[in-house]
Structures are given as C-alpha cells and as structure tokens.
Chains A and B, each alone.
Chain A
Amino acid sequence: MSPEKMVHMANQIAIFFESQPGEGQAEKVADHLNDFWEPRMRAQLLDHIAAGGEGLHPLVLDGADKLRAPA
C-alpha cells in the first residue's frame, strides 16, 4: 500500500487511542496494530519507522518497540 495510506491508517488508530483517558495509549496503539495488521503491513510500518517515521502520529512512534516484528 502507498506510504501515505499506511500512515493515514496508523494515525487514525492513534487518534482514537489518544482520545481515551488513562495511561498506556502508545501500547494500546501497538496492541491494535499487532492484533489487526497482517505481518507484511507491520513490516512496512516498521520499515517506515526505521526510515524516520515521517508523518506518523507520536503515539505510533512511541509504541514502535511494542510492535511485534513479523516472523
């Protein structure tokens, strides 16, 4: 998928969890991505983060270390 579309989709998730009260939003974003994004989508996201993560919401970046790297 295009990087713009991927960034948009990841940011949509981050924006939802950002609005939630309490702690651990970045982890919730990562959990959601781990639960619903297929490995090659997560791989693309991780590559994008490794390349600087342009355009990504801070919560996506903060949760990056919780993102499960595809086997």
Chain B
Amino acid sequence: MKDFIIPDDRDMGTPARQGAPVTLTVDGFAVTVPEGTSVMRAAAEAGLQIPKLCATDSVEAFGSCRLCVVEIEGRRGTPASCTTPVAPGMVVRTQSDKVRKIRTGVMELYISDHPLDCLTCAANGDCELQDMAGMVGLRDVRYEAPQSGGLTNHFEARSGGEANPQWMPKDDSNPYFTYDPSKCIVCSRCVRACEEVQGTFALTIQGRGFESRVSAGAMGDDFLSSDCVSCGACVQACPTATLQEKSVIELGTPERSVVTTCAYCGVGCSFKAELNGDQVVRMVPYKGGKANRGHSCVKGRFAYGYAAHKDRILGPMIRESIDEPWREVGWNEALEFAANKLRGLQEEYGRRSIGVITSSRCTNEETYLVQKLARQVFANNNTDTCARVCHSPTGYGLGQTLGTSAGTQDFDSVEQTDVVIVIGANPTDAHPVFASRLKKRLRAGAKAIVIDPRRIDLVKSAHIEASHHLALRPGTNVAVVTAMAHVIVTEGLMDEAFIRERCDWDEFAEYAEFVSDPRHSPEATEALTGVPADELRAAARLYATGGNGAIYYGLGVTEHSQGSTTVIGIANLAMMTGNVGRPGVGVNPLRGQNNVQGSCDMGSFPHELPGYRHVKNADVRAVFESLWGVEIDPEPGLRIPNMLDAAVDGSFKGLYCQGEDILQSDPDTKHVAAGLAAMECVIVHDLFLNETANYAHVFLPGSTFLEKDGTFTNAERRINRVRKVMAPRSGYADWEVTQLLANAMGGDWSYDHPGQIMDEIAATTPSFSGVSYDLLEEVGSVQWPCNEAHPEGTPLMHVDGFVRGKGRFIVTEYVATEERTGPRFPLLLTTGRVLSQYNVGAQTRRTENVIWHEEDVLEIHPHDAELRGIKDGDWVRLNSRTGDTALRARATDRVSPGVVYTTFHHPDTQANVVTTDFSDWATNCPEYKVTAVQVSLSNGPTDWQEDYAAQAARARRILPAAE
C-alpha cells in the first residue's frame, strides 16, 4: 500500500506573512522571510525549532508562555520570538545558557501544576507539553503545594484530604470531545482559535492569575449549551489533552495519516484521515488544503461515524416488486437481474425509456462513468444530477453572460474583498469553513450586504454586523437585483471603462435603458419586495463604490421560477461595476454538495457532454464516439423532473440512481413517489436504504469516501484527491459497481483504477486536459481549466477577457411566480439547512450530530404564531396546495412576518411534501424557496406522515438469508 507522502506539515509557530523579503541569521544560518514574519517562524523556515507552548501557526502570537525567548544581538533582555518581528541583518541565537535556564524555569512551573499521568493520558505521544519538557531538558520539579493549604494545584480532586476547590471535573457534554480542566495550561490557544479561526467567540478565559480557566459560554454553561459550534478548531489548537477527541480517548493515538477530501459540502476541505490500520481514529483538517487552510466544521471534522453505522447495507439485494421484502443475493445475480430488466425495458418501451441519476456526492470518476453508462451503453442522454435541483440556473445564467458556469474566484480571494454581497445563502450553516474565512475578513473591516428573507447569522453575530440586510419577500430576487442595477446605472456608479473594454457596449446600453425605467427603482419595487428603498439604494452604492466587490450566492437565488434570471442579474451587477477578473471580486456560487461542481463538469446534464458541450454539436460527439465506439444521441435527454413526469405518463420505466435520495430531496414528494412507483426497475446504489429505495427493485451497496480513490471538485473549481484509507466494506468501490453493471449490459469496460478514468476525462475534455493523478500528487490540487495554457490550473477566471469573449448583459424582467399567497395560504414557506445536518441527513442523522438537530422545526414569526394561537414547541400542521405535514413550531423573529422556514433533513417531516412542482423557466430547477402555506395547531403527525412511515417500514423488510 502506498500512501501519499504528506508534505511539510510542521507547526511554524505563527502565521505566514506577505511582504518584502528580509534576511537575518538564526544560529548562524541565513534565512530570508517576508517582512512582518516572527523570529519564531523565521527560525522554523530555517529548520530550527524554538520551544513554544502558547504559539501555533493557526492564530496570531500571544507572547504568554515565555518558553520561546531568544537572544538577539544588540537588543536588551530575552524577547519572545513569537511576538518579535524580523528585521534586516538581525542576528538571533535560539540557544544559550541564559535562555536555556529561563526555559527550564518556565517549564518547571508549568509542570508543577500538571498531572504526571502521561502513560495513561490520551495525548501521550501527541502532547506539546510533553515534547517541550523533553526539549528543554526538564529533569526535576522542585515546587510543591504548601502543606498549610492555600495555593495548591488544579489537577488533584482532593488535596491534603480536603476537596480541592481549584479542581474542576471533566466536561464531556460535547459528543465528540472532552474538556479536562485539570490538564489545562491556560495557553489560550483554544480561545484564540475560536475567535480568530472559527469566529464564534464561544470561549473565554475566566478569572485572573492562578484562578484563570478556559470557559465555554456564560456562567453555568458547558460546551454543549454554549455558543460552541463544535468545529474542532480549539481541539486542534490545544497542545495537551485538555481538549481531546473522544475517539482518541477510546481508540488511542493514530499511527498513520492519509490526506483526503471531505465528503460533505461544496467547500471541499482537505483532511488528514488519521488511522490505526484501517480504523479511522480522527479526521484532522489539513493545513495544506487550499480551500480550508487548516480549518474544519463539525461535519467534516467529527461526523464520519455513518461510515461504520449499523444501518449500512453491505450486500446487493433484489425484488420483483416493491411490495415484496428485499432478498439478499450475490453480486452476479443482482447485476444480471438489473441488466436483464433494463435491457428488457429498452426492448419493450424503446431506447429512451431508461436513464441515470449521477451523484453529486460521488467522485468525478464515478460520475463520469454513470453518464457514460447512459450515453454509451443505454445509447441515450437520460442523465441528470442533483444540480438540477440546486445550481442548474447557475450553469445557464453564468454560461449566457460570462461564457462559463464556473464560479470566478478561489476562496482565498475573500481575503481581498472590501464589500461582500451574500444573497440567498447561509454560509455559517451550509458552508461553515468558507463562512469562517468570510467572517475573519469582515472583522478586519470589510463590509457585508445580506439579501435574505431570514436574519441569518451573517446579519449580526459575534463581532460582525452587516451594513445592510435587505429582508426581501421570497420570490422577489429579480426585482431586488434589478433595482440595485437601477441605482448603479441612474446614479452613474458603473465602471464605464471596464464595460467598454470587456463587454458588449450595445447590449449594455440596452440593459441600461431597461433598468433606468422608473418602474425598476427601489421606490417603485418596495411594495413588492418589502425592502425599504433607501436601504436598497445605500446597499447598491456601497457595492458599486466600496472597493473590491464580491457576490456570493446560494440556492436562495437559484431555486425559484426565475432562478436563472437572478443569476443573470448578479452577473450583470458584477460586470457593470467592473468586479470581475481580479482577486477580491467576482461571482461566486456556493455549491451545496461536495462534488456538485464536479458532477456538472463531468457531463451529468442531459444536454451536455463532459466540459459543458451541447450534445447537438457533432464535433463534440465525435470525440466520444471515436473513443467509445458508439453513436451518441444528438437529442437532449430527460431532466429529473421530466423523468418523473415521463414515468407517470408511462414512457420512462427504469432508473439507475447513484448516491442521491430524490424521494426526500426533490419537491412535491407525492409526485416523486408516483413517478418512482410507475417505474418497473429502480436501481438504488447507496450506503443506506434511503427513502428512494422504498420504491426500488435493486439495491447495490455503495462505498464511502474513505473506501475509494478519486477526486472531488469544490465550489471554486478545485480538483482535490480523495484517497482510499480502507477497503470498500461491500467489496467494491462505486466506480467498480457501475463498471460491473455496464459490463453486465455489454459495456466491455476495463478500468483498473480511477486514475485511468481521469486520464480518459483529460483526453476528451479540454478544460481538464492537463489533469492527472500525477499532477495532483505533485501540486496537491488544481482549479480547472487546467490545460496547456494553464498547466497548474486557474485560480481566477476571466482575467484578461471573458470566456465567451465580450461579457453579455441580458435584460432581467421580474415575473411573479405563479405560486401566490391568498386567503387559504397566506404565508410563504422557504427552506434551508442547519449547520449540524447535511442535505437529506442520510449521513449526519447517523452520527452524534443529531444532538444539535433532532427534528426539523418550523420557524414562524411570533406575530404570525400568536395570530394562530401557536406557542413555541407546539405541533403545527403545515399545509400547501400540494400537501401537508406536521412538525413543531419555533417562534422567532429571525423570519419576517408572513414568512416561515424549515429544513428538510428528516424523512419523518418530509418538508418536500408541501413544496410545489413549479420550476425555473430555463432549467426546471424546482422552486423550493417559495411555497404558499397555512400553519395551524395540530395534535401530531398527519395521516400522510403515518401512511408514509408505514409504507417505508414495509418497503424496508429484508428476508432472512437462505441457509
């Protein structure tokens, strides 16, 4: 077994700086570092470690432990190397009798108040205190607590027969880590990590001097009840066992580590999977990861327990009808059964009667194979992916205006942003690590404009406050974005030079004329959008004139009847203000799932071959036809909603659905169920018997990201390696299963490793032509396009010109959705995510994360609640024209009057039973974000919920295996 060799991963002591080079000597070695670098880091760059305890390179230097003192020629005393910046010609000595004596003295004091239970301590072998005691040569501790009592220590529960008032019990309230105050050295690294890295400010140092203690939240709080979001930054920063992963306490310290990529959201954080054998001990954010820069959230850091959950199905199963229980069978039987069914359906109902759904959670290589299965083996283009229901309007909108659907920046770009617009996205919950990077920039002075119906955390939370919160009515995005353009154009705030040079001027002139019409003014649209005109004007001015302006957006933009139009409007705003093509600006779609970018890139859409090239183009088809030896259908295939419609109509009969739970995640659950029920062969390829599997005839067990090699592409187009750390528990990685199915249908594929699949992608897809596993081993990750012109990828798009040539302004007329409130359904429902859960919750509900979100609740404004006699915690019925469900209410003014909000993480609630089948005009992306509803008191689950649960229980029966 060959593991990727982890590049230099040392703790450099203090953060890197950028600046003019400065040369100094450390212990006689010359070293050149950027201006502003600490002496400690300069020494580390030279390969010389200075002892340290309170410094770590994820947070700014603090200068409290005094272990890192050095001598500097010409300077008095012994300055702390962590807080002393380098100067030209500086001569530093890290070792001398004088500093050795100081360090030993400091260490002796630390150890006098630390238990000496190293052999049985969870951090044994992974403790910086232990390392430093060794490094400074501490041999003796002379200090003892006075016999007379008084000042004693923090680590003995009883001292001299009396209870020790300084001792505090372990706090193990957090499901993933413990806080053991007796091991704390009060270096405050955890407090600073919570502030500087995560930006939550949940921790503090309470008390003074000998009384100083790390404390979570307010008096009386423990870690769980505090504001702590369990990101793990404090655990990562802690030099001792004070903050320690429970998994390490249970399993011991890991002996090997493999760099891989998180399988949760579209940020795509790099992690080190730390293991003993094939047992994952912990996941630790990888400092070399260019998306996360060493940070993590509760999902990636801790919520991997689903991989070993008892609910996982590890062998294939089949059944003739969904009324029957499942029958466990061998791989050959299952694949033959599936292949015969699919071929039979094509013979009976035609070539286009079957299709696939690729997974935005699987790797690029796996997704490529699933769409290839449709195009080559099924001989049709019936392939779609979950991006249909999230960012397909991004594909259309940015493709039309800028020339490519890709986000324009890398995540590092946010560090140079002056004004950020966050529209229809809630990064602190859905893209937490990016949110931490954004909040850091906001604390440094950048301004924020939040456009969202809810008061999300970015509007106001610890040490950040948005300059403007435009709390629009759901469904009025286009009106708001167009009104912003109206202000910018009519007040002459656009960047005319940029537009003239980079965009089509005539199209801009038409757009300018369109938006200048007084009917688009904020005053005219205020009654419609609910956004005060002066607030909108101020926001537009700030974005246009506040320096580098960046727009980040999410599904609150796309999941509307006019999703594509809003994306176009966002691109228009960026172009007219010249905010494209350099660091700190841009149009940045925040992608929901780990590989939703990649699944789109890989040709999952029914009208596009890999690399976003329409199937109607004969030259593109020819590339694949010559390689695959078949003729490719020149007609676009069915999109997911079309597949379901066609199924109900009786012309779509078979589906291979990989790693996607459409019954729970797609809108109008009853319609999805009817579509699935009408199919004759549904193949679900997943980790668990998900909701869709209730209607499946074949179940093929899936593999987790820990069990396979591949790549994920994150929201910044970054292709990151996923590395296998254990054998697939079902016997096959997902790409192998797809290959087996293809071959059972005569596909004749012979891939031995995902690297070969990537080679095929590179050979056929121009934007990937430079990508190979060798390159990724060498440089870590690349952002596509990666080709001859950009051999190491493209961090910023549209630098010298738009991909399409001239940027194109497109008119954005507001069209009200058909989904309207009225006397029967007076409220607007909008949906979203919470931090601790992910999408349909199939993974996170099977981890300890449920402690933070046991059930979906309905947020309702106290005014709307009171009108209906609803109190916090009451069961309420949520009705729409489509369906009804029941859940508990939470009265909160985070939502405006007239708006209610819930999440879709739990199948018992099935928020999507109420959502409608209205969709985006261009892409059929469903309108999840606007449903007219009524809310009323209820006794408990609805009949529908009870019927659903009963059907699900019946459909999940598995026959005992035959002897």
Whether A38 contacts B919 by the Cβ 8 Å rule is: no
Whether A19 contacts B811 by the Cβ 8 Å rule is: yes
Whether A13 contacts B635 by the Cβ 8 Å rule is: no
Q: Would you call B333 an interface residue if the criterion is a C-beta within 8 Å of the partner chain's C-beta atoms?
A: no
| Cβ-neighbour of B818 out of A8, A37, A70, A71 (below 8 A) | A8
For window 22-70 of A, CB contacts with B under 8 Å fall at: 22, 32, 34-41, 70
| Cβ-neighbour of B636 out of A1, A5, A22, A36 (below 8 A) | A36
Q: Would you call B514 an interface residue if the criterion is a C-beta within 8 Å of the partner chain's C-beta atoms?
A: yes
For window 504-556 of B, CB contacts with A under 8 Å fall at: 510, 514
Residues of B within 8 A of A13 (CB): 921-922
| Cβ-neighbour of A21 out of B616, B635, B811 (below 8 A) | B811
Encode contact with A along B919-953: 1 for CB under 8 Å, 0 otherwise.
10111100000000000000000000000000000
Known: A35-B607, A36-B923. A21 touches B646 (CB 8 A): no
Residues of B within 8 A of A19 (CB): 811, 813, 815
CA distance A39 to B565 in the complex (A): 25
| Chain A nearest Cβ from B479, distance in angstroms | 13
Which residues of B line the A interface, CB within 8 A? Answer: 352, 381-382, 510, 514, 561, 565, 606-607, 614, 616, 635-639, 642, 645-646, 648-649, 651, 810-811, 813, 815, 818, 917, 919, 921-924
Whether B811 contacts A36 by the Cβ 8 Å rule is: no
Given pairs A15-B815, A36-B922, 19 additional interface contacts (CB within 8 A): A1-B649, A5-B645, A9-B919, A12-B815, A16-B922, A19-B811, A19-B813, A22-B510, A32-B922, A34-B616, A35-B616, A38-B352, A38-B382, A38-B639, A38-B642, A38-B646, A39-B352, A40-B651, A70-B635
Whether A16 contacts B565 by the Cβ 8 Å rule is: yes
| Chain B nearest Cβ from A37, distance in angstroms | 7
Whether A38 contacts B645 by the Cβ 8 Å rule is: no
| Cβ-neighbour of B642 out of A12, A20, A41 (below 8 A) | A41
Whether B352 contacts A35 by the Cβ 8 Å rule is: no
CA distance A9 to B894 in the complex (A): 34
Residues of B within 8 A of A39 (CB): 352, 635
CA distance A1 to B645 in the complex (A): 5
Whether A15 contacts B921 by the Cβ 8 Å rule is: yes
A interface, how many residues as a size bin? 20 to 34
Q: Considering only CB atoms, which chain B residue lies closest to A2 in the complex? A: B645
| Cβ-neighbour of A38 out of B514, B635, B648, B818 (below 8 A) | B635
Residues of A within 8 A of B514 (CB): 21
CA distance A37 to B381 in the complex (A): 12
CA distance A13 to B565 in the complex (A): 11
Whether A21 contacts B607 by the Cβ 8 Å rule is: no
Q: Considering only CB atoms, which chain B residue lies closest to A41 in the complex? A: B642
CA distance A37 to B561 in the complex (A): 17
Known: A15-B815, A16-B565. A37 touches B636 (CB 8 A): yes
Residues of A within 8 A of B607 (CB): 35-36
A-B contact pairs, 22 of them (CB 8 A): A1-B645, A1-B649, A5-B917, A9-B924, A12-B561, A12-B921, A13-B922, A15-B815, A16-B565, A19-B811, A19-B813, A20-B810, A21-B510, A32-B922, A35-B607, A36-B923, A38-B606, A38-B635, A38-B638, A38-B646, A39-B635, A40-B646
Main secondary structure of the interface of A (DSSP, over half): helix
Residues of B within 8 A of A8 (CB): 818
Q: Considering only CB atoms, which chain B residue lies closest to A33 in the complex? A: B636
Residues of A within 8 A of B921 (CB): 9, 12-13, 15-16
Residues of B within 8 A of A71 (CB): 635
Whether A40 contacts B636 by the Cβ 8 Å rule is: no
Residues of B within 8 A of A70 (CB): 635
| Chain B nearest Cβ from A68, distance in angstroms | 8
Residues of B within 8 A of A32 (CB): 922
CA distance A68 to B919 in the complex (A): 23
| Chain A nearest Cβ from B477, distance in angstroms | 15
Which 3 pairs from chain A and chain B are nearest by CB? Answer: A19-B813, A12-B921, A1-B645
Residues of B within 8 A of A5 (CB): 645, 917
Residues of A within 8 A of B922 (CB): 13, 16, 32, 36
| Chain B nearest Cβ from A14, distance in angstroms | 9
| Chain B nearest Cβ from A59, distance in angstroms | 13
CA distance A59 to B635 in the complex (A): 23
CA distance A71 to B616 in the complex (A): 14
CA distance A22 to B922 in the complex (A): 19
| Cβ-neighbour of B352 out of A9, A36, A40 (below 8 A) | A40
Residues of A within 8 A of B651 (CB): 40
Known: A16-B921, A21-B811. A35 touches B649 (CB 8 A): no
Residues of B within 8 A of A1 (CB): 642, 645-646, 648-649
| Chain B nearest Cβ from A29, distance in angstroms | 11
| Cβ-neighbour of A35 out of B614, B638, B646, B813 (below 8 A) | B614
CA distance A40 to B651 in the complex (A): 9
Residues of A within 8 A of B381 (CB): 38
CA distance A25 to B694 in the complex (A): 45
Whether A38 contacts B565 by the Cβ 8 Å rule is: no
Residues of B within 8 A of A35 (CB): 607, 614, 616, 636
Residues of B within 8 A of A9 (CB): 919, 921, 924
Known: A8-B818, A12-B921. A38 touches B636 (CB 8 A): yes
Residues of B within 8 A of A40 (CB): 352, 646, 651
Whether B811 contacts A38 by the Cβ 8 Å rule is: no
CA distance A41 to B639 in the complex (A): 11
Residues of A within 8 A of B614 (CB): 35
Q: Considering only CB atoms, which chain A residue lies closest to B510 in the complex? A: A21
| Chain A nearest Cβ from B439, distance in angstroms | 37
| Chain A nearest Cβ from B898, distance in angstroms | 25
Residues of A within 8 A of B382 (CB): 38
CA distance A8 to B918 in the complex (A): 9
CA distance A8 to B352 in the complex (A): 24
